[in-house]
Amino acid sequence: MFTLEIDGTAVAVINGTEEVARDLFTCDGFKEDIQAMTSEGRPLWNGTSELKIRPATEDEVEIFEDALAEDDSEADFESDPRHAEAGDAEADEDEADIVFLLDIDEDDDTLDS
């Protein structure tokens, strides 16, 4: 497992290979998402800080596993449609899960749509 760290703060953990982690954490769509997402009113990423990918710590792995176990028991989360399995060569990337380590602010704009 690998962790995305921004400015010394662990932001997210992924259960993929380092290559999958780099591909996902540095793709344009994910970068746009983490610029738009906020925690305590502040964007997760300012658009210029380094996106550091490193091996996850034991504590981060535990948080990841607890979050997935909770998701499985609640069955509230569906697969992200942007990563739906298509039966192609990218299927391994589609199976990677991401858990955010920060409390993400709720998006009030979704209520207006």
Q: Over the stretch 84-105, which tens digit does the pLDDT of each residue have?
A: 444 444 444 457 899 999 999 9
Check residues 48 and 70 and name the one with the higher pLDDT: 48
* Mean pLDDT computed over every residue of the chain: 82
- Give pLDDT, residue 91: 44
Give the model confidence (pLDDT) of 7-25 as tens digits.
Answer: 999 999 999 999 999 999 9
Q: Which residues of 71-101 are buried (b: 16+ CB within 10 A; e: fewer)?
A: eeeeeeeeeeeeeeeeeeeeeeebebbbbbb
What's the Cα-to-Cα distance from 9 to each of 29, 75, 97, rounded to whole Å? 21, 29, 19
Phi, psi of 48, rounded to the nearest 5 degrees: -125, -25
